[in-house]
Structure 1
Amino acid sequence: MSDESEAWHMMPVAILAILWNLAGCADYVMTQYGVAPYLQLFTQSQAEYFTSVPAFVDGAWAVAVWGGLLGAVLLFLRVGVAPWILGFSALGMTVAAVWLIVFATPGLTEVAGYFGDAMIAGAAAMAILFYAYARQMRVAGEI
């Protein structure tokens, strides 16, 4: 597409997606490596909970944050595979959120309250929205 017909919102959304996913990647790295100053932001039970999730949840979380960052960068660069990558990211975040809220014992609500539920559900919603946006831009021929 020429610059004249370019969707005005594409770059701001892509930049927002990059920043959002960078924050998710930072959270993932600091949790995985047990960065003490970061984990001290949580109660001891919350820190233990987030650092001891099952491997498949860790994997879904990794796909969510790293796939989200890659997909956001590809969206910024207008690479056609961006919706696919963001879709896998959304799937990973949704799997992690559903497991933490519904299937984990103890559940996220017991450990972090309804605020924790809202945070993880909001992260999943953002991942889905970024996927839906990228897909719409692909359908519209913007990427």
Structure 2
Amino acid sequence: MMTTMRIKTPTSFWIIAVLSLLWNGFGANDYMQMHLQNRAYIEGMTQGMNLTVDELIAFYAARPWWVDAFWALGVWGSVAGSLLLLMRSRHALAAFLVSLVGLIVTSVLGFVDPIPGQTDLTFPIILTAIVFAVLFALIFYTRRMIARRVIA
């Protein structure tokens, strides 16, 4: 039976893993607040839009189930990836890749069918670019840590 030897875990690994969990926690919070229909939270999202809280809730409720499923893959895949990274598991890479699939699908749909009343797409485009950049960085970092045998 062959086992993979891990090397000593650098402090920077723990910092990055914890930061990734905190970052992905924001996405999980957003997902939960929308599904729980937290009116105070959603009201903050409607600032600068010609849209009421009820209209935004109705927009999200009217989306097909599979759109929500891809959103869940994106959000919870990244949370799982961060937790698996903290556990030094090589499965973190698979979780981040699942998240990438969810992010790609929901991002494309978000620009094809934007939220009604959202006339300026500057903020969503910038936010989406940042989310993609962080996720790609986590994927490459995880691959590097697997290659260096920090995680197995």
TM score, norm. by length of structure 1: 0.84
Give the structure with higher Rg (CA): 2
Q: Which one is further off, 9-18 or 44-53?
A: 44-53
Matched with 2:56 is 47
1:125 is displaced (CA, Å) by: 2.5
Indicate the structure whose relative CO is greater, using CA pairs within 8 Å and at least 6 residues apart: 2
Measured in 2, the distance between the counterparts of 1:95 and 1:81 equals 22
Higher helix proportion (structure 1 or 2): 1
Distance in structure 2 (CA, Å) of the matches to 1:42 and 1:116: 11
Which segments of 5 or more consecutive residues in structure 1 lack a partner in the other structure? none
Q: Cα 1:54–1:117, aligned 2, differ >3 Å: closer, same or farther?
A: farther
Q: How does 1:56-135 map to 2 (within 5 A)?
A: 56-101=66-111, 103-104=112-113, 107=114, 111=118, 113-135=121-143
Structure 1 residue matching 2:121: 3-state secondary structure: helix
Aligned letter for 1:77?
M
Aligned-partner Cα distance in 2 for 1:54–1:72: 28
User: Which amino acid counterpart does residue 21 of structure 1 have in structure 2?
Assistant: N
Report the alpha carbon displacement of residue 98 of structure 1 after superposing the two structures with TM.
1.8
1:97–1:124 CA contact under 8 A, matched in 2: no
- The reply on whether 1:30 has 2:33 as its aligned counterpart is yes
Q: Which runs of 5+ in 2 are unaligned?
A: 1-5
The percentage of aligned residue pairs carrying the same residue is: 25
> In the aligned structure 2, how far is the partner of 1:121 from the partner of 1:16?
18
- Count of residues paired in the alignment: 138
Segment drifting more, 124-133 vs 32-41: 124-133
Contact 2:56 / 2:115 at 8 angstroms: preserved in 1? no
CA distance 1:126–1:108, change in 2 (3 Å): farther
Mark the CA change 1:110 to 1:129 in structure 2 (over 3 Å): closer, same or farther: farther
What amino acid does structure 2 have at the position aligned with 1:56?
W
Cα distance between partner residues in 2 of 1:2 and 1:137? 10
